[in-house]
Amino acid sequence: MRLIDPYFMNNFAANTIRLLFTIITGSLLFLIGCSKNDPAQATRSTEPVSEKPSTTEQNPFKPVDMVWIPEGTFNMGSKYGKPDELPVHKVTVDGFWINKTEVTNGQFAQFINDTKYLTVAEQKPNPLDFPGVPEDKLVPGAVVFEPPPGNPPLNNHRVWWTWKIGASWRHPNGPDDSIEGKDNHPVVNVCWFDTLEYSNWLTKKTGVKHRLPTEAEWEYAARGGSDEKKYIWGDELKPDGQCIANFWQGRFPNQNTTEDGYRMSSPVGQFASNGYGLYDMAGNVWEWCEDWYKNDYYEKSPDKNPKGPNTSFDPAEPNIAKRITRGGSFLCSELYCTGYRPSARMKTSPDTGLNHTGFRLVAEGAPPKK
């Protein structure tokens, strides 16, 4: 197998499910992939981003734990980042509501209790997606981070991602792990399709359209009014030597000094908010966005409310359609991926949940009264 640049560790994790079945069957069946990776099929299962708020006078929107982001223009991308962050270009976005924090375990549990929904990680894999794999080997699970002993080279990310039977949003690191007592931690091991179910539930509950943010909305909100800064708080990773977000300190992937106080996820809102009053826009967990990923999208994206390309293309894995994730996580290190920069782009197969990936939503309600 070829090695992939370490920046693409999410890409590997997205395919570990398929690698599992390769190990089980001794075949290359994982190359067939999952039918949900087909952009056309995935697009059919989503609702388009609407152009106007859906609030009405009969059902006025009363946002809970959301912040209004005013319309504005900013410079999207970075000359200090990866090639897919270029070119830096001006983008204007309309105003929108967005969650102050990532969706928490407690909030997601309310959705599960109301709907009895099973996340993709809790569902038995569809035999049609893995032809030839024995029925008894198709079991629910997810991909989790397990750092190995020693000092593995950073160009072999396979050594720290592990398939765990029984891993899910309820059991982030495997069946022996639990979210008990962690209602205020961000929910993880939810895939892009799971976030659609959650947003549809909130839309019905409130009468106002809820959805994932577009990539442009996310970056604009993350910057908090500080345009073109390297980090959401400025140009220094550790101002005055202090960790002000949940990311990896020490040698990745097995020596986390926990200067920030956390080895894995932290409760939401533990660090200072950005200029718009949003928490954890850098670090803690990656956050799903609405858009498909395309490496050269910035070269021709619209300058007003861009909603991403119609199809996905990642030259590192051209046969796998991917959606954008943003913000970095507790696994991001200055030695490795630096995903906590507001311009940093990551991409993951939409059917794959990971134990360092969650989400927050935007709402298309009317702006606050002045």
Q: Whole-model pTM?
A: 0.85
Helix (H, G, I), strand (E, B) or coil at 96: strand
Which pLDDT belongs to residue 294? Answer: 98
Establish if 55 belongs to a structural domain: no
Which pLDDT belongs to residue 31? Answer: 24
Which pLDDT belongs to residue 60? Answer: 59
Which pLDDT belongs to residue 101? Answer: 98
d(CA 160, CA 144) in angstroms, rounded, equals 8
Which pLDDT belongs to residue 246? Answer: 97
Q: How many domains does the chain have?
A: 1
Residue that is written with structure tokens 């991001």 in the block: 332
Establish if 142 belongs to a structural domain: yes
Establish if 79 belongs to a structural domain: yes
Q: Which domain holds residue 123?
A: 6-38+68-363
Which pLDDT belongs to residue 364? Answer: 95
For residue 21, what is the DSSP state?
H
For residue 164, what is the DSSP state?
E
Residue that is written with structure tokens 């894999």 in the block: 125
Which pLDDT belongs to residue 25? Answer: 35
Q: Which residues contact 166 (CB under 8 A, 6 or more apart)?
A: 140, 141, 174, 175
Establish if 249 belongs to a structural domain: yes
The tens digit of pLDDT for each residue in 264-292 reads: 999 999 999 999 999 999 999 999 999 99
d(CA 220, CA 281) in angstroms, rounded, equals 11
Which pLDDT belongs to residue 42? Answer: 41
Q: Which whole-number Å values give the CA distances from 165 to 26, 32, 121, 142, 291, in the listed order?
A: 19, 21, 9, 7, 29
Give me 282's structure tokens. 């850098």
The tens digit of pLDDT for each residue in 202-253 reads: 999 999 999 999 999 999 999 999 988 999 999 999 999 999 999 999 989 8
Q: Are 188 and 142 in contact (CB under 8 A)?
A: no
Establish if 59 belongs to a structural domain: no
The tens digit of pLDDT for each residue in 140-156 reads: 999 899 888 888 888 77
Q: Which residues share a beta bridge with 173?
A: none
Q: Are 281 and 271 in contact (CB under 8 A)?
A: no
For residue 25, what is the DSSP state?
H
- In the chain, which stretches have pLDDT less than 70? 1-60
Establish if 56 belongs to a structural domain: no
Q: Which whole-number Å values give the CA distances from 44 to 38, 193, 294, in the listed order?
A: 10, 12, 19
Q: Report the alpha-carbon angle 98-70-311, nearest 5.
A: 60
Helix (H, G, I), strand (E, B) or coil at 91: strand
Give me 359's structure tokens. 């989400």
Q: Are 173 and 355 in contact (CB under 8 A)?
A: yes
Give me 338's structure tokens. 């630096």
Using only C-alpha atoms, the chain has a radius of gyration, in whole angstroms, of: 20
Establish if 54 belongs to a structural domain: no
Each residue of 158-175: b (16+ CB within 10 Å) or e? eebbbbbebbbbbbbbbe
In sign, the C-alpha dihedral spanning 129, 319, 358, 137 is positive
CATH of the domain at 10: 3.90.1580.10
Establish if 63 belongs to a structural domain: no
